[in-house]
Structure 1
Amino acid sequence: MSGVMAVASAVLRALEALDVGGAADKISLIPQDFFAELCEQIVQHLNHKIPGVNIAELCQRITTSGTEIGVGDLAKIANIVSFLFSTAARNNLSTEELVTTLGNAGSALPKHALQVIRHVWNEQGKSISVSEDAGNMATVGQFVDIKWKLGVAMSSDTCRSLKYPYVTVTLTVADPSGQLTDKTFEMTIPQFKNFFRQFKEMAAVLETV
């Protein structure tokens, strides 16, 4: 049990840094089924089964259900849960040890959240494998998807009729915590052709590896 106490101490310090007390109030507002879905997606991300958690999409669904919560608040909650699960996995905590750790850490998580964490960890906790140096991984995003569409600019503040073509590109990226974000930008046709040429060059280099 001393090992559990040591983990609890580390969890307490980290939770304080993440302001879990403020997040607990937000967690209490999230319906249990949505919180369970968030936890399950985080476990799948830690198991490398999905590239990340689509916080914006989940937040929209929660709001549509009648619960007001901001994307930033939901992202903070996701970070806390991800930290708890990855810490528990690194220390091979059982379900009871995880619950005891949260209690010793004084996490102040609402009852329904603790019930969900207990259930998810009991069902899927053993499947998570987190390396010891996971915390030292480079803080860069992971490319997930790319979409593009062709458009034509018809007018602007300075010119009534432009009629020049442009390409809108949307990149979906998973940040280090597993949250999915979209980055959208526009390019002229020459810029897009250069963009495409660089991708072909990268592909040619990769074929030689």
Structure 2
Amino acid sequence: MPAAEDSYGVNKVVDNICRLSPDLLTEACQHILIYLQGQTRGVDSAEISDIFQRAGVRLDHESLQTMIRFLLLTFRSAGKSSLSGDDLVSRLEEGNHKWPKASLQVLHRLWSEHGASVHAQQEVQAALSIGQLVDMQWKLGMAVSSDTCRSLNSPYVSLMLKIVEPSGQIRHRSFEMTIPQFQNFHKQFKEMAAVLETV
């Protein structure tokens, strides 16, 4: 059943893409490809919707969002797999036989022009990707015995961080700091928060 639902969803997206002229499809894809090349912060669906409406193409909000997600996923997947324009078109045709030739020509041309840049941007993002801090817990403790520590009975702060890696895997990291180190850490966090508020 899920495969049939998925196939129905792809059919619906392809039907909506069929309603677009090659120029409109080109314009929508260019917005997406510019984003995937790291030149904008996102895909402005309201702007794409305005372009479609001025051309007389009416799509409800959900259909437009689904089309944009489909094209984003298609181009991202092609970038990760380093597909050529021919390979991209072959995969699209394998997934759905309703594709109009004019739409496939547009996608082939745009991917041939921009695919290498999208792939390069994805490699940069993968190299620079870092985990996201999702939880931080701390507790105050007192050192009472140690094989290596000379100054016992000194307070320390134990931190436990929960980090989601770019792969989606959750990692736990823990470490201990002296009170002066924790105070410095706290000061740096406050400074970062102040800077982030100005962004």
Structure-2-length-normalised TM-score: 0.56
1:63 and 2:53 correspond: yes
1:203 and 2:170 correspond: no
1:21 is aligned to: 11
Alignment counterpart, residue 86 of structure 1, candidates 66, 72, 76 = 76
For the Cα contact (< 8 Å) 1:21–1:107, is it kept in 2? no
Q: d(CA) in 1 for partners of 2:130 and 2:58?
A: 34
Deviation, 1:200, is: 8.8
Q: d(CA) in 1 for partners of 2:130 and 2:102?
A: 33
1:108 is aligned to: 98
Q: CA 1:106 to 1:125, structure 2 compared with 1: closer, same or farther past 3 Å?
A: same
Equivalences for residues 167-206 of structure 1 within 5 A: 202-203=193-194
For the Cα contact (< 8 Å) 2:11–2:96, is it kept in 1? no
For the Cα contact (< 8 Å) 1:95–1:121, is it kept in 2? yes
For the Cα contact (< 8 Å) 2:25–2:103, is it kept in 1? yes
CA-atom RMSD in angstroms: 3.6
Structure with greater contact order relative to length (CA < 8 Å, sep ≥ 6): 1
For the Cα contact (< 8 Å) 2:93–2:99, is it kept in 1? no
Query: Which structure dedicates a bigger proportion of its chain to helix?
Result: 2
Deviation, 1:205, is: 7.7
For the Cα contact (< 8 Å) 1:59–1:70, is it kept in 2? no
Q: Aligned with 1:22: secondary structure?
A: helix
1:75 is aligned to: 65
Deviation, 1:206, is: 8.9
Deviation, 1:29, is: 1.4
Q: Deviations over 1:25-76 (max 9, x none)?
A: 1111122212111111111111111111111122123112222212221111
Aligned residue type for 1:93: L
Q: Deviations over 1:109-155 (max 9, x none)?
A: 33222111001001111111325979x9999xxxxxxxxxxxxxxxx
1:160 is aligned to: none
For the Cα contact (< 8 Å) 1:24–1:109, is it kept in 2? yes
1:37 and 2:27 correspond: yes
Query: Which runs of 5 or more structure 2 residues have no equivalent in the other structure?
Result: 133-189
Structure-1-length-normalised TM-score: 0.54
Aligned residue type for 2:193: M
Q: d(CA) in 2 for partners of 1:66 and 1:21?
A: 22
Q: d(CA) in 1 for partners of 2:196 and 2:65?
A: 37
Q: CA 1:201 to 1:108, structure 2 compared with 1: closer, same or farther past 3 Å?
A: same
Q: d(CA) in 2 for partners of 1:122 and 1:86?
A: 14
Query: Which runs of 5 or more structure 1 residues have no equivalent in the other structure?
Result: 1-12, 140-198
Q: CA 1:206 to 1:123, structure 2 compared with 1: closer, same or farther past 3 Å?
A: same
